[in-house]
Structure formats: C-alpha cells, structure tokens
A and B are shown apart, each in its own frame.
Chain A
Amino acid sequence: MSILEVNNVSKFFGGVKANQNISIKVEQGSIVGLIGPNGSGKTTLFNSIVGTHPIDKGSIVFDGKEVSQLPVPVVAKLGLLRTFQQTRIYGKLNCIDNMLISHKASDEGMFSVFSKIPSELTEKAENLLNFVGLYQKRKLRAGDLSFGQQKLLELAMALMNEPKMLLLDEPTAGINPTLINGIIDRLIKVNKDFGITLFVIEHNMRVIMALAQKIFCVAHGKLLAEGTPEQIKNDKRVVDAYLGAQ
C-alpha cells in the first residue's frame, strides 16, 4: 500500500518549470530516495508535498487524503513532516524545550493555547535525545550546537512529533564521515523500530545506496529514472545527468 502518491505534479515559478509532471509512489514502511543534480527540483517537490506553496497541476495523496490544497500545519498534523536542508531549530531554546514544543499537541479551541505541557513528555524527550546522542547537551541552547548536532536534534524533534512519514532533505550534508554512519544506522532504526516511512533527498551516493530500497532521480524538473539502487547506479541517463553527457 502506498502512503504517498504524487500524481503528475507540476510547479512553475514564472517561466521556470521547477517540477513537470512528476509522479512518485512511496510504499508504506519503506525508505525511498530522491536524487538529482543541484537545481533539479528536489526541494521544490518536498515543498509542494508538505504544502509550502500551492502546486499548479496534479494531485498529492497522503494516507488516502488529498493534501495538495492544505496549509503546512494541517499537513504536518496528518503525520507528514519534513526536515530542512539548512537546519531549522529554535536556536535560543535549549534542546529539551526544542523537543517539548515538537510534541504533537491537540490544538483545538482558543484556550488550548494555555495548555500545560505534560511532565511525562520530558522523559520521552530525554529518551529521544539519548537516541540521537545529545542527552548530555540537552540543557544547552540549540543554537550553540554544531551543525551536525543540530541535524541530529532536528531528527529527534521530528520523531517527537510521531509522524507517519518523514521527508528528509539531505540529512547528511555537511556532516563528518564518522557521524554519517551513525545517522544511517539511526535512520534505519527509525524506519524499522518506529515504523516511519522515509523519503530522503541525498547527494551522498554511499548513503542513499545503503539506505534506500527504491530511488527516484529527477533532472531539469522532470522524473528521469526510478528503480532499485542497483538499477539507478547502472542507468546511463542518471550518470549523464550527474556527470554531464558526452
């Protein structure tokens, strides 16, 4: 069963065709990769899926529901979260607070604004911070963490929200090779143990080949190829797109 269906989605910015007729299916419980040269429309597609900007054509169905017209917070509430290429954390809050605020709270009515933060959440936050290896730094301001640690914090924040599916925009960009292995292990664990479907943009071929069961490749806003890591690796069009055709 597919949890996310992107059907013939197009997105134009004036004359720039950022996405053209892209169709992608992501199976529930799988890890799927999205690769492509810089500027090929990967992040635009992510933005379209989570509702950052309205799409011009096509439909996006998440968990059996059409989401292409919904605003970002509503889509997130349905259990479809994304992380950002440049880390986005709440810099002046400490890690624990970053986690607490990421909990999916029932936001109904005016007075829910002043709802208490359940104390058992702190325990959960600490456990997840421990999972990404940030427990010792939990009382530091998130803005004081290194870039790699912020990426880990962002992952932990996403897990705190208990999504059904996570869109990860370059989870290992700018991170040292040792930590990258740690991130791969954790992402596989997230997928297996937490049962969260992952859709990952990645430039690091070693990472995406180790992680994904299926990979989509986009170039110039169009879907170029799809298949298993093995098929993608040997696809001439993909190699041409990345290295330039001869």
Chain B
Amino acid sequence: MKKNDLILYAVLLIFGLAAPFVFAAYKVQLSILYVLIVLALTWNIQGGEMGYNTFGNILFYGLGMYLCSSVQVGMFFPLAEWTESGGEKTFVHTPIQFFQGMAVGLLVAAIVPTIIAGLIGYSILGLRGHYFAICTLGLGIAAGEISGGIELIGAGQGFTTPPFPKLGDVELRGEYYYFLCFAVLVATFAFIKWSYTTRFRLVLNAIRDNEDKAEAMGIQTMKYKIVGWMVSAFFCGLIGGIMGGLVGYIDSTDVAFDGREMGVFMVLMAILGGKGTLWGPIIGATLFHVLKEGLWTYLLGWQYVALGILIVVIVIYFPEGLMGWLREKYPERFGEVVDEKDRKAQVELK
C-alpha cells in the first residue's frame, strides 16, 4: 500500500514536470486544470469534510486575483493610470520588475484573503446549514458588485494584468504559468494530505456528522471552522493571483468573482468526484474539465443546457460522487470490515 502510493506520486510528479514539453499544445489547458483542482480541493475542506456548503470561496479567489495584479502594478507604476489606460500600455515591466512584483503580489494574494476569511468566518461560521450557504452566496455577489465600482482597479472595464515580459527570443509564458500552477497544486495537495493525518480532519468530520455532539464533547468547533476556512482562503487567493496573470485580464464578475461559473464549478467538481475524500475533488475536477471542454467545443450554444443536465444526473444518481459510490459498492476496500476475532483472542495471540 505504502509502496503503491509512492509509485503513484512519482508517476504523477514526473507527468506534471514533463507535460509542458511532451504535450506542449495542452500547457494552458493543464494549467487551468490545476487551478480547478486547487479550487475543488479547498472547497472540499468546507463542503466535504466539514459539511458547510460554501459559495463564498470564490471571494478569496477573486480577491487574490485583484490583489496580486494590483501589487504587481502598484509597486512600480501608478495603479490608477495603469487601469485608466486600459489595454494600451504606457508602462512596461522589465523582467525583474515583473517577477519581483509577482512574488510580492502572490504573497499578498495569499495572506490578505486568509485574514479576511478569519474575520468573516468569526462572524458567520456560527450559522449552520442552508443559512451559511445563502450567506456566503451573498458574499461572492457583493464582492463582484463592489469591485465593479472601484475605479482604481478598473471598475466595470476590467483590469489588464501585466503582460509576461520578453526574455530574449524564447516564449516562456506558458511554461512559467504552468509551473506556478503546478507548484501551488503540489503545495495544496501536500498540505491538505498532511493536515488530514492530524486532529484537524477528524474534528471537521465530527462537525459535519454532528456539531452539537462535538461541542458537548468539549471541542471548540468554532476554532476549527475558522482555521479550516483560512486554509482554503490561503490557497484560493494564491491560485487566484496566478490565474489573473494567466488569463491576462480581470473582470469583476466574469473572471474574478465569477460565482455563476467558477463558484458553482468548484462545488460541482468536488461533488462529482466525491466530497469528503482526498482524491475525490482531484478526480472530479479532471473529469469535469475534460467534459466541460468537450461540451464547449462540440455543443457550443447548448453547453449550459448540457451542463445543467449533467448537474441533475450527478445530484440524482451520484449524490456521494464517484468515490462515495465506490465506497458504497465495495466497503471492504475502504476498510469497513467486521473483525471476527474478539479482543481477548487478539491479546493472547501476541
């Protein structure tokens, strides 16, 4: 089992490192896939492990996007004039400025949403069930509307993020964003996998299964809920910052606080693969990305209809997702076995 895990990770890592060179044409698609997986993985912390269906994680993603680019521009040029000039570039980052700005920008894009998640979480994580879901739905919408009114970051006309600088003759933009996305994906996965070996996951699961009981047993559930949301916000902000650069253009409601698409997709991906599992969101996001690209290519015009049907089918036939369905079918494979030996016999055997 352990050895199989190692082989699996080695294969995935080698694939991840080699992909932009072997499948050069799919660099951008793979980068976006990694973004989707990070979003699904982090949504799963709330929606899957903790049982708090949130539509608010898009807030941290969008915030990260705006923050990273604003810092990247603001560090070297007047931000207002940059956004004022729109697409026409009066200012050009030198390569060093670009990378320095991006580094600081990503740092800010990760930390500020984390703090905001802590503050908002403190005030609304007392809400349960549907009330929490509706409240977070409002957060994403409000953020989109508010950011669409701020002139400094481009308001309704959007924000063109700094273009990737020319480095000699070679075009490295795709590789650069690919490896950034890949690095964040690996970091997110590693952190989540590690955190699931600690008390953190058990407490989140306990909150999902029976929060009153968890409190009655002396667990400070609020603290776990807040920290869980902060973890999600950290990685959502980070990946949002990168996505801003990758897309090259930030619009308040269509790219950043895109609750209608990305905000729903992250929920859908986690559910499709199986919420409350480590691999579910990854499998779900991969399946979803392939399906979505297929629909958008071959059923253009009808893509939302097809997507809607897909959602209905998933919710009705696979409410527990792929992993949940497998677990239901083969519980022994997931360790659910009756141990026929009793305790005494076991002790004597030793």
Interface residues of A (CB under 8 A from B): 50, 71-74, 76-77, 81-82, 84, 88-94, 97, 100-102, 104-105, 107, 110, 112-117, 126-127, 130, 135-141, 143-144, 157-158, 161
Q: Once bound together, how far apart are the Cα atoms of A35 and B227, in whole Å?
A: 42
Contacts of A135 in B (CB 8 A): 339, 342-343
Q: Are B227's CB and A90's CB within 8 A?
A: no
List CB contacts (< 8 Å) of B165-221 with chain A: 195, 197-200, 202-203, 205-206, 208-210, 212-221
Smallest CB separation, B49 vs chain A (Å): 10
Binds A, one of B69-77, B254-262, B330-338: B330-338
Contacts of B206 in A (CB 8 A): 90, 93, 101
19 A-B pairs besides A110-B227, A135-B343 with CB distance below 8 A are A71-B215, A72-B215, A73-B215, A73-B220, A76-B217, A81-B218, A88-B210, A90-B205, A90-B213, A91-B209, A92-B208, A92-B209, A97-B205, A100-B202, A101-B202, A114-B200, A115-B198, A157-B217, A161-B217
Using A92-B208, A117-B202, A137-B338 as known contacts, say yes or no to A76 and B227 having CB atoms under 8 A apart. no
Query: Is B88 among interface residues, defined by CB-CB distance under 8 A?
Result: no
Q: Are A90's CB and B210's CB within 8 A?
A: yes
Query: Is B224 among interface residues, defined by CB-CB distance under 8 A?
Result: yes
Using A84-B213, A88-B213, A102-B217 as known contacts, say yes or no to A115 and B199 having CB atoms under 8 A apart. yes
6 sampled A-B residue pairs with Cβ under 8 A? A89-B210, A93-B202, A101-B202, A107-B218, A107-B220, A115-B199
Using A90-B209, A107-B220, A117-B198 as known contacts, say yes or no to A130 and B215 having CB atoms under 8 A apart. no
Interface hub of A97, A139, A161 (most chain B Cβ within 10 A): A139
Q: Closest chain B residue to A104 by CB distance?
A: B218
Smallest CB separation, B206 vs chain A (Å): 5
Q: Are B221's CB and A73's CB within 8 A?
A: yes
Partner pick for A101 among B203, B336, B337, CB 8 A cutoff = B203
Mask of B31-49 contacts with A, CB within 8 angstroms, 1/0: 0000000000000000000
Contacts of A82 in B (CB 8 A): 216
Question: Nearest 10 CB-CB pairs, A to B?
Answer: A76-B218, A90-B209, A88-B213, A130-B343, A135-B343, A101-B202, A77-B218, A114-B198, A72-B215, A113-B227
Q: Once bound together, how far apart are the Cα atoms of A138 and B335, in whole Å?
A: 10
Using A73-B220, A90-B210 as known contacts, say yes or no to A136 and B342 having CB atoms under 8 A apart. yes
Q: Are B216's CB and A76's CB within 8 A?
A: yes
Q: Closest chain A residue to B207 by CB distance?
A: A90
Query: Is B223 among interface residues, defined by CB-CB distance under 8 A?
Result: yes
Query: Is B276 among interface residues, defined by CB-CB distance under 8 A?
Result: yes
Using A117-B199, A157-B217 as known contacts, say yes or no to A139 and B210 having CB atoms under 8 A apart. no
Interface residues of B (CB under 8 A from A): 195, 197-200, 202-203, 205-206, 208-210, 212-221, 223-224, 227, 276, 335-343
Q: Once bound together, how far apart are the Cα atoms of A104 and B214, in whole Å?
A: 11
Contacts of A130 in B (CB 8 A): 342-343
Q: Closest chain A residue to B197 by CB distance?
A: A116
Contacts of B341 in A (CB 8 A): 136
Q: Closest chain B residue to A107 by CB distance?
A: B220
Q: Closest chain A residue to B218 by CB distance?
A: A76
Q: Once bound together, how far apart are the Cα atoms of A114 and B230, in whole Å?
A: 13
Smallest CB separation, B204 vs chain A (Å): 10
Using A92-B276, A105-B199, A115-B198 as known contacts, say yes or no to A76 and B336 having CB atoms under 8 A apart. no
Q: Once bound together, how far apart are the Cα atoms of A113 and B221, in whole Å?
A: 10
Q: Closest chain A residue to B202 by CB distance?
A: A101
Interface hub of A92, A100, A115, A141 (most chain B Cβ within 10 A): A92
Interface hub of A90, A97, A113, A116 (most chain B Cβ within 10 A): A113
Q: Once bound together, how far apart are the Cα atoms of A130 and B341, in whole Å?
A: 12
Contacts of B276 in A (CB 8 A): 92
Q: Once bound together, how far apart are the Cα atoms of A72 and B221, in whole Å?
A: 11
Smallest CB separation, B344 vs chain A (Å): 8
Contacts of A115 in B (CB 8 A): 198-199
Q: Once bound together, how far apart are the Cα atoms of A114 and B216, in whole Å?
A: 21
Q: Once bound together, how far apart are the Cα atoms of A170 and B193, in whole Å?
A: 40
Q: Once bound together, how far apart are the Cα atoms of A43 and B206, in whole Å?
A: 23
Contacts of A73 in B (CB 8 A): 215, 218-221
Contacts of B338 in A (CB 8 A): 136-137, 139-140
Contacts of B213 in A (CB 8 A): 84, 88-90
Partner pick for A113 among B197, B199, B335, B339, CB 8 A cutoff = B199
Q: Once bound together, how far apart are the Cα atoms of A144 and B241, in whole Å?
A: 44
Using A91-B210, A92-B276 as known contacts, say yes or no to A140 and B336 having CB atoms under 8 A apart. yes
Q: Are B223's CB and A107's CB within 8 A?
A: yes
Smallest CB separation, B185 vs chain A (Å): 21
